[in-house]
Amino acid sequence: MHQLGLYRHGQFRRIVTFIVRSEHVPSASTSLCEDRPGRRQLLAMGITIAPWLFFCQQAPTTFAAEAKKGFLSVTDKKDGYNFLYPFGWQEVIVEGQDKVFKDVIEPLESVSVNLIPTAKQDIRDFGPPQEVAETLIKKVLASPSQKTKLIEATEHEVDGKAYYTIEFIAQAPNYTRHALSAVCIGNGEVLHFDNRGDERRWEKMKDRLKTVVDSFQIFNV
């Protein structure tokens, strides 16, 4: 299996939380972005939050028609992806991440998109879902101090593109997050879509978070 370490040595903004802080996590020796160093490797040297950047980009008609009640749609025509997020969530700017939306009241609930350039064409080139999920959780999605549990890792296809969906729990000393992530390859990039909630609110929020992760799709640009 190819190593799935998404980061080079150094500081970066970990995907696990969007609270204003920086953390250190170890990186693997081989990177998903080793094919060509990218303009958007997940290196976060700090976080800048744009106050109340509450807006939604215009989505294509076909996708907007599928938007459900209580959700807004986002389409990135430059990088080729779209998804839904809960109404009322705020867009924030996080260095090293392409898009981030979070609940302004429940800071542990957020969704983000991260892009890493690659020459590979299929996420399956990095191994089966279980192995990829375990590597991502260990190397990227949780810090060494957190206790993690992989709940499920599955594969599905949409329009001939393979997606891995990962569900896991990350427990820190003062909080526990329940995450649903999707990872795929399109337009020369690995796209990692991360959707997280507070474990104590999981039963209340799980249907909404599953709607969000299931809505994530890529398209050719």
More confidently predicted of 28 and 173: 173
More confidently predicted of 52 and 160: 160
Residue 54 has pLDDT above 60, yes or no: no
C-beta of residue 203 within 8 angstroms of C-beta of residue 217: no
Segment 101-113 shows an average pLDDT of 93
Distance, CA of 100 to CA of 151 (rounded, Å): 24
Residue 7 has pLDDT above 60, yes or no: no
List helix spans (H) across the chain.
61-64, 129-136, 202-215
- 32-218: CATH class: alpha beta
Asked which of 39-43, 75-79, 99-103, 148-152 is least confident by mean pLDDT, the reply is 39-43
Say what the pLDDT of residue 40 is.
Answer: 40
Distance, CA of 14 to CA of 7 (rounded, Å): 10
Asked which of 62-66, 105-109, 136-140, 214-218 is least confident by mean pLDDT, the reply is 62-66
Residue 100 has pLDDT above 70, yes or no: yes
Distance, CA of 15 to CA of 172 (rounded, Å): 14
Mean pLDDT of the chain: 77
Residue 171 has pLDDT above 60, yes or no: yes
Residue 53 has pLDDT above 50, yes or no: no
Segment 166-173 shows an average pLDDT of 94
Residue 58 has pLDDT above 70, yes or no: no
